[in-house]
Amino acid sequence: MALFGKDKKKSDIPQIVPRHVAIIMDGNGRWAKRRGLPRTAGHAAGAETFRRVASICREWGVEYLTVYAFSTENWKRPAEEVSAIMELLRKYLLEAIAEMEKEKIRIVFFGDLSPLPAELRQLAEETVERSAKYGPCQVNICLNYGGRDELLRAARAFAADCAAGKRTPEELSETVFSNYLFSAGIPDPDLLIRPGGEERISNFLLWQAAYAEFYFSDVNWPDFDREELRKAFAAYALRQRRYGGV
Ligand code: FPP
């Protein structure tokens, strides 16, 4: 929804701000190709965009921002590209730790961090620990994450609890199941943004996005700026959410 009258002068905070925004940061490779640069340069620009967007979300009062940084399928990419993404994450986490006092953003990871390089895993754990006291803005970084993998892990953990006598199959409800996901305790995303021109979910938040509003943009992720985010929020403000009702 647009801003009106004197408020516009005071602040550029959109009037309707989704509580939880999820983003598939797509189009880094194409952004780079168009400029005759290596794909890794696109990821570096994408990491900068992520930092700016997280900061704007905090400023505008978004409570949860969930970004898809690396999927369970992304290991299929050339080794050089995989290590460039890991290096960018390392750099980001190091800087985030240094800047935490200023930004006060809580950082959490969704995904299985165990196959990651040991140094990156430790850095991720340290960032989570040190930022746990911050808020109200929380950034969930999906790393070695896949929606189907998350559902299988949850099903397996619930079955194991049943086998151990801690749960019974009859107890399984949507609420109980949700608590076995990486996103346990976090509200579902209200708005799911996919820049980069593709219109698909790519194994992202399959359970959680059940009632999310989708916003697709042709802008490649590295070019996704404040104005693009404002357009996405404006489109969201016009949606009528019925959750299956009338
Ligand atoms: C998709 O673009 C992007 C990725 C697979 C990687 C996203 C990673 C970052 C933005 C950098 C690190 C992240 C953080 C949180 C610091 P693509 O390569 O599929 O683009 P294309 O479809 O144009 O080839």
> What's the average model confidence in pLDDT over 14-20?
96
Residue 41 Cβ inside 6 Å of ligand 1? The answer reads no
Residue 210 CA to ligand 1 centre (angstroms): 24
Q: Is residue 143 within 6 Å of ligand 1 at its C-beta?
A: no
Asked whether the beta carbons of 137 and 57 are under 8 A apart, the reply is: yes
29 lines ligand 1 (CB under 6 A): yes
Q: Distance, CA 37 to ligand 1 centroid (Å)?
A: 15
46 CB near ligand 1 (under 6 Å)? yes
pLDDT at 102: 87
Mean predicted lDDT score pLDDT of the chain = 94
Q: What is the mean pLDDT of residues 226-231?
A: 98
Q: Kindly give the number of the ligand 1 atom that is closest to the alpha carbon of 92.
A: 16
Give the global pTM: 0.93
Question: Which one has a higher pLDDT value, 242 or 165?
Answer: 165
Any catalytic annotation for residue 161? no
What ligand 1 atom has the least distance to the C-alpha of 30?
23
Instruction: Compute the distance from residue 24 Cα to the ligand 1 centre, in Å.
Output: 8
